[in-house]
Structure 1
Amino acid sequence: MEYSQLVECYDRLDATPSTLEKTAILAELFADAGDLLPELTGLARGRVFASWEPDDLGVSSSLTVRALSDATGVDADRIGDWRRETGDLGDAAAKAVENRVQTTLFSGSLSVRRVYDTLRGLATYEGPGSQTRATDDIADLLGDASSDEARYVVRTIVGTMRLGVGEGTIRDALARAFLDDADDAVRAVERAYEVTNDFRVVGETARDRGREGLDELEAELFRPVKAMLARKAEGLEDALESIERPLLEYKYDGMRVKIHVDGDEIRVFTRRLEDVTEQFPDVVEAVRDEVTAETAVVEAEVVGYDPETGRPIPFQEFSKRIKRKTDIDELAAAHPVTVHAFDLLYHDDDPLVEAALSDRLSRLEAVIDPGSETVVRAEHVRTDALETAEEFYGDALDAGQEGLMVKNLDAGYQPGSRVGYMLKVKPTMEPLDLVVVQAKWSAGRKSEWLGRLRLACWDADCEELREVGRMFSGLTDAELREITEKLEPLIESVEGRTAKLRPEVVVEVEYEAIQESTKYDSGYALRFPRFGGFRDDLGPEDADRFERVKRLYEDQ
């Protein structure tokens, strides 16, 4: 398939606001995809990796501009001006190609396969010369691209497709393309995606083996499933009344992980499905010594502790280990961990996602060495008595943890859903986890630092972000410096001193109240928001939901 055919599909998606029409367009694309179906299920959202694969192409916006300049002969500063005018590097790329001042000696057409393979290859470049190789590869693509093709190649590179296509649209399109009964078909595709996190596998299975094949898909080692998410309870009494056969566990302030074990091979995935095995050699060593299963997927909370006091350290401090590439052993020694195991999703080649929690926990307790020091069973109690639960809740808070999780012992595991049979109980007016969508360079002596963060919550129904206010003050110089380092690579466009950002960074935000506001598209604004730290373990889709902001406002 020529890439121009896919670009025509992109243009049709961009031209309609209707989700049903987008679904029909993609269903047609998938039905005619042939051997390219796996690639197209990703490219439809501008992605060349499954959610659990390394999804960092290692290409910055500035490097992309350099490649554009090399391919077209247009000055990089001029491309930067177009980017600021349009607010979209993809549109700037189209303009650069339209105004190219040089052409390649031997130009060819772009195929979908060439674009897909070239972009995946960018993530493999490491060491000296890697940026030059990446720039050359991108320039080769853009040198053969039409203006419209260049627009979408660049949007795919920088992760800003702007087509309104989310996971739900891909799911519905696959169901429509390859299955019959609409309602049951959607649920069959959804369930298959929940246990694979890979539309490439789901699409080919739906096409080749239909409903029966989808039903047979299961969780596998080293292909992590999304974390099951909890709803916020109104209080401990409400949680006990809502959950049958309740199990109470500490809610730890740490990094939620899934640890995959296959003999001596052990890999650690975060809640965002990032592989952080290299950053946590101490976790790998502890699991190898203290988990007795030959094959397993253990879900746990990894908590950093102060080696002198034994108290948990704030997640904002511990989270520095997640992205660390150097001095890993030194940081591990400074911030030793405990792995608080609380679920088992795979054991001895047996997927357990659909098994009852009580069965999963029985098997979990059997695979943890009773004498283990680092991998331990999360603190828990089985009770529906309010007095006992309140005492346990107090113990959790006294131990420096966030609160409690209340789970249904009869329930299965529902990846990626905020289910009614798992609730979290935390102190009232708890902080919100929000996405930074815009920032502004400060004035005076702080003029080189980004601040004044505009914040947004996640609207799951629309699959988009909705703004809830700005953080104007209260940031230290050190915090401003760290914020700038994280946000500058994400700048999409600049107007005056205001930078629009690719929405990737999540921060914890404290505040005094929530009020109605016509200034932000959520209809609400945080009163006196304060920076509580970065949440490197969360992505935009993991941010607090619009529904929760609304509920917190109503409950004030």
Structure 2
Amino acid sequence: MKYLDLVSTYEKLDNTTKRLEMIDHLVELIKKTPTDLIDKIFYLTLGEPSWIGKPEIGMAEKLAIKTISASFGIPVKKIESHLKKVRGLSSENRTTDLGSFVGTLKGKKQMTLIKPKPLTVSQVYSTFEKMRTFSGSGSQERKMKSLASLLGNASPKEAKWIIRTIEGKLRVGIAEMTMIEALAIAFTDDKTNKEIIENAYNLRCDLGYIAKELAVNGIKAIKNIKIQIGNPIRMMLAQRLATPEEILEKLGGKCALEYKYDGIRIQAHKNEDKIVLFSRNLESLTEQFPDVREYIKGINVNQLILEGECVAYDITKNKFKPFQELMHRRRKYDIDKVKEQFRVKLFVFDLLFLGRKSYLNESYVKRRKELENLIKNNGLSTAKNLIVESPKPFYDFLDNSIKDGCEGVIAKSIQIDSIYKAGARGFLWIKYKHSYQENLGDSIDLVVVGANMGRGKWAGVYGAVFGAIYDKDTDSFKTTCKIASGFTEDVLKTLMDLFDPLRIKKQDPRVELPKEIKPDVLFSPNIVIEVRGDEITLSPTYSAAFGEFKENAGLSIRFPRFIQIRKDKNPEDATTTDELIQMFQNQNKK
């Protein structure tokens, strides 16, 4: 299969903002892709799952520029000067990314004496795979040589997308849920089968593997995909309700309460002596938390998967430390040193797999009982819990959680159907914080999709950012507010560094911008921030939940304030349309 066939699809995706058209283009691509290449097409388009542990394909822009300079005989400073100039302009006719620049350059300098053989998907993929393995002395030179070889044989359009892929800036406006729907249509002619494929993806978070399994063995094989230790399971999430009374009613009159610890959620996999740890957004945490690995190794079983919250902890005083101290553990270097300086404890709250058996479809009560039998290690504790049947003990347990330094509580169903729903956000788990008694209550996680440049003392940095919620039904991001407060000077500088590489020249097809307000700068939807506000209001400007409560009006956050960047969340983990609607309804009950 020619690489140009894949590039042609990228070009089509890049030139539409209509989701149905994008799915049609993907279906066409999937149908014409040979079975032995289907997984590679998915990896090139979405990237391979980070949890696999392979080095990233990516190449820093400076090294890519150095390669381009050597390949085309253009000074590095001239390339950097051009990029700096066009990135400072908002004209739609200007090139703003290195890939487009190289495509244009290649078109001007295309050699015609010897026509190179067309690039193939296998050739491009295998070159990227080889580049992953380069390390140590001379590795940069070998990466440059491999990239230069690809560019030398590439057409202008191919060169553009090779650079975008190597930089991790494909930005064709698609993500996993859109690809899953395209798979369902391409291989089963029935888009409702996307639920079967999504369920399989929740258990085995490798869409390239699932696509190939579907292509080879059909939808029945997808139904039979099982848990595999070492492969993360998409984590179950909690809903919100306004009062303990509502929560108890929703959960059948009684429920289990657990402390909601303020830490990093970890899913731990044990297979004999091999321990791997995953974050909420499916990134490997194995190397950063060697102490947690040792705690899990101490559990006297051969195979298991469990979940817990890893918190900063003062072992001598037996109390929690601030969440910010935990961030010192999110590093790649001096791990042994910081391990001793910033101690942690894992509070385990669920069991997903034990021995050779999946516990996903067992009730909460059974999972909890098995968990308590397992955890007898000083570095591990089960999450503090209590069964309640009335509001008073609920409030008492909540107050105790706050006094002990937690965020609040998680109420969990103890009914017979209280299974672990991988990848789902439902009412089997309901979170409740003390702050819910305020008007808006909980904070909101928003994806940043644009910004306005600062004025006056904030000139030269972003003065305000536009936040969006995630709409699962349409796999898109709906704007809900402009955030202009809560930023310090240091944070604004950090935002410049984070968002400058994400700048795009036209609206991302998955983003619905506010009506009558155009941000100065647009971003690819990648970064999640936590925001608090005074209340949720109806607004004719913003697209979140548009028309749900009033014709020609969506939901907006009044007086939104920046709290922090949520590096532990993917864009699709942001607050959803359904959650925002629920919060608005809860607010109006007070």
What is the rounded CA distance, in whole Å, between the counterparts of 2:191 and 2:333 in structure 1? 50
Amino acid at match of 1:38: D
TM superposition shift of 1:133? 3.5
2:127 maps to a residue whose letter is T
Equivalent position SS for 1:52? helix
Shift of residue 81, structure 1, vs aligned partner: 4.2
For residues 537 and 42 of structure 2, the distance between their equivalents in structure 1, rounded to whole angstroms, comes to 41
- Name the counterpart of 1:137: 146
- Does the 8 Å contact 1:307/1:334 carry over to 2? no
Distance in 1 of aligned mates of 2:210 and 2:109: 41
Q: Which amino acid aligns with 2:212?
A: E
Q: CA deviation at 1:479?
A: 3.5
How far off its partner does 1:300 sit?
0.8
Residues of 2 paired with 1:62 and 1:436: CA distance? 25
Cα pair distance change 1:118/1:448, threshold 3 Å: farther
Provide the C-alpha distance between the structure 2 equivalents of 1:127 and 1:498, rounded to a whole number of angstroms. 42
Query: Counterparts of 1:220 and 1:456 in 2: how far apart (Å)?
Result: 34
Please name the residue that 1:229 is paired with: 237
Query: How far has the Cα of 1:280 moved from its partner?
Result: 0.8
CA apart distance, 1:221: 0.9
Q: Identical aligned pairs, as a percentage?
A: 31
**2:427 matches 1:420:** yes
Give matches, 1:248-267, under 5 Å: 248-267=257-276
> Which 10-residue stretch deviates more, 417-426 or 12-21?
12-21
1:486 and 1:202 map into 2 onto residues whose CA distance is 32
The residue identity in structure 1 corresponding to 2:562 is F
Trace 1:534-545 onto structure 2 (pairs within 5 A).
Answer: 534-545=565-576
Q: Is the 8 A contact 1:87 1:493 kept in 2?
A: yes
Aligned counterparts of 2:111 and 2:63: Cα–Cα separation in 1: 19
Q: Distance in 2 between matches of 1:143 and 1:546?
A: 47
In 2, are the aligned partners of 1:255 and 1:319 still within 8 Å (CA)? no
In structure 2, what residue type is equivalent to 1:190? E
| Secondary structure of 1:272's aligned partner | coil
The verdict on how the C-alpha distance between 1:39 and 1:191 changes in structure 2, with shifts beyond 3 A counting, is same
Note if contact 1:51-1:197 (Cα within 8 Å) is conserved in structure 2.
no
Query: CA 1:350–1:420 in structure 2 vs 1: closer, same or farther (change >3 Å)?
Result: same
Asked if 2 retains the 8 angstrom alpha-carbon contact of 1:341 and 1:375, the reply is: yes
1:117 maps to amino acid: S
Q: 1:71: Cα distance to partner? A: 3.5
- The 1:432–1:314 alpha-carbon spacing in structure 2 relative to 1, beyond 3 Å, is farther
> Do the aligned partners of 1:72 and 1:143 also contact (CA within 8 Å) in 2?
no
Q: Does 1:214 align with 2:222?
A: yes
Supply the AA of the counterpart residue of 2:239: R
**Aligned match of 2:509:** none
Name 2:183's counterpart in structure 1. Answer: 174
Measured after TM superposition, the shift of residue 423 of structure 1 is: 1.4
Shift of 1:465: 2.6
- The residue number in structure 2 matching 1:506 is 528
Q: Does 1:151 align with 2:160?
A: yes
**SS of the counterpart of 1:153?**
helix
Name which of 246, 251, 258 aligns with 1:238.
246
Q: Secondary structure at the match of 2:396?
A: helix
Q: Does 1:78 align with 2:82?
A: yes
Structure 1 residues 23 and 533: CA distance shift in structure 2, 3 A: closer
Query: Could you say if the C-alpha distance between residues 520 and 71 of structure 1 is closer, same or farther in structure 2, counting changes exceeding 3 Å?
Result: farther
Residue 480 of structure 1: how far off its partner (Å): 3.9
Post-superposition CA distance 1:409-458 (Å, at most 9, x none): 33222222212322111222222222333456656776676553433322
Report the alpha carbon displacement of residue 307 of structure 1 after superposing the two structures with TM: 5.1
Q: Map of 1:245-324 to 2, 5 A cutoff?
A: 246-289=255-298, 291-306=299-314, 310-322=318-330, 324=331
Structure 2 alignment gaps of length 5 or more = 507-518, 545-553
2:49 aligned with 1:50: yes
Match of 1:221, SS state, is: coil
> Is the CA contact 1:304–1:318 (under 8 Å) kept in the aligned structure 2?
yes
Q: Residue 404 of structure 1: CA displacement?
A: 1.4
Over 3 Å counting, the alpha-carbon distance change for 1:178 and 1:106 in structure 2 is closer
Shift of 1:309: 5.1
Q: Report whether the alignment pairs 1:406 with 2:411.
A: yes
- Supply the AA of the counterpart residue of 2:49: A
One-letter amino acid of the structure 1 residue matched with residue 152 of structure 2: G
Match of 1:29 in 2: 29
Please report the TM-score for the alignment, with normalisation by the length of structure 1.
Answer: 0.88
Aligned to 1:41: 42
Match of 1:329, SS state, is helix
Whole-Å separation in 2 of the counterparts to 1:25 and 1:482: 37
Correspondence 1:385 to 2:384: no
Structure 1 96/354 Cα, relative in aligned 2: closer, same or farther at 3 Å?
farther
CA-CA distance at 1:348 after TM superposition:
0.9
Structure 2 distance, partners of 1:104, 1:388, is 83
1:135 CA drift (Å): 3.5
1:470 to 482, 492, 498: 482
Cα 1:15–1:449 change in 2 (3 A) is: closer
Shift of 1:375: 0.9
1:188 aligns with 2:196: yes
In the other structure, the counterpart of 1:367 is 374
Pick closer, same or farther for the CA change 1:421–1:293 going to 2, 3 Å. Answer: same
1:112 deviates by 0.6
Of residues 205, 222, 236 in structure 2, which corresponds to 1:197? Answer: 205
CA-to-aligned-CA distance 1:244-276 (integer Å, 9 cap, x gap): 462221111110111111121111110111111
Q: How many residues align?
A: 547
Aligned AA (1:348): G
Shift of the 169–457 alpha-carbon distance from structure 1 to 2, 3 Å rule, reads closer
Secondary structure of 1:64's aligned partner: helix
Pairwise CA distance, 1:18: 4.9
Encode CA deviations 1:382-430: one digit per residue, 9 max, x unaligned: 2332222221122112212111112223322222221232211122222
Distance 1:315 1:435 in 2: 22
Could you say which residue in structure 2 is the equivalent of 1:460? 472
- Give the conservation status (yes or no) of the 8 Å contact 1:406–1:425: yes
Tell me if structure 2 keeps the 8 A contact 1:345–1:353. yes
Cα pair distance change 1:467/1:174, threshold 3 Å = closer
Q: Which amino acid aligns with 1:31?
A: K
Question: How many angstroms does 1:160 deviate by?
Answer: 3.9
Q: State the alpha-carbon separation in 2 of the partners of residues 238 and 122 from structure 1.
A: 55
> Matched residues in 2 for 1:65 and 1:519: separation?
41
Superposition deviation, residue 207 in structure 1: 2.7
Corresponding residue for 1:163? 172
Q: Distance in 1 between matches of 2:448 and 2:130?
A: 29
1:515, CA displacement in angstroms? 4.0
Partners of 1:241 and 1:407 lie apart in 2 by 12
CA deviation after TM superposition for structure 1 residue 5, in Å = 1.4
Q: Is the 8 A contact 1:48 1:120 kept in 2?
A: no
Instruction: Give the distance between the partners of 1:252 and 1:465, measured in 2 at CA.
Output: 29
Residues 215/463 of structure 1: CA separation in 2 closer, same or farther (3 Å cut): closer
Shift of 1:473: 4.0
CA distance in structure 1 between the aligned counterparts of 2:463 and 2:234, rounded to whole angstroms: 32
Equivalent of 2:579 in 543, 548, 553:
548
User: Following the alignment from structure 2 to structure 1, what is the Cα–Cα distance between the partners of residues 460 and 136?
Assistant: 29
Task: Quote the residue 2:547 is aligned against.
Answer: none
Question: What is the distance in 1 between the residues matched to 2:107 and 2:397?
Answer: 66
Aligned to 1:116: 125
Judged with a 3 Å threshold, the aligned counterparts in structure 2 of structure 1 residues 174 and 446 are, in CA distance, closer, same or farther, namely: closer
Moved more, 66-75 or 110-119: 66-75
* Structure 1: runs of 5 or more not aligned: none
Deviation at 1:487, TM superposition (A): 4.2
Question: Using the alignment, how far apart are the partners of 1:270 and 1:131 within structure 2?
Answer: 30
Q: Identify if the C-alpha distance between structure 1 residues 477 and 204 changes in structure 2 by more than 3 Å, giving closer, same or farther.
A: closer
**Counterpart amino acid of 2:82?**
R
> How far apart in 2 are the matches of 1:165 and 1:381?
43
How far residue 502 of structure 1 moved from its aligned partner, in angstroms, is 4.1
Deviation, 1:363, is 2.3
Cα-Cα RMSD: 3.1
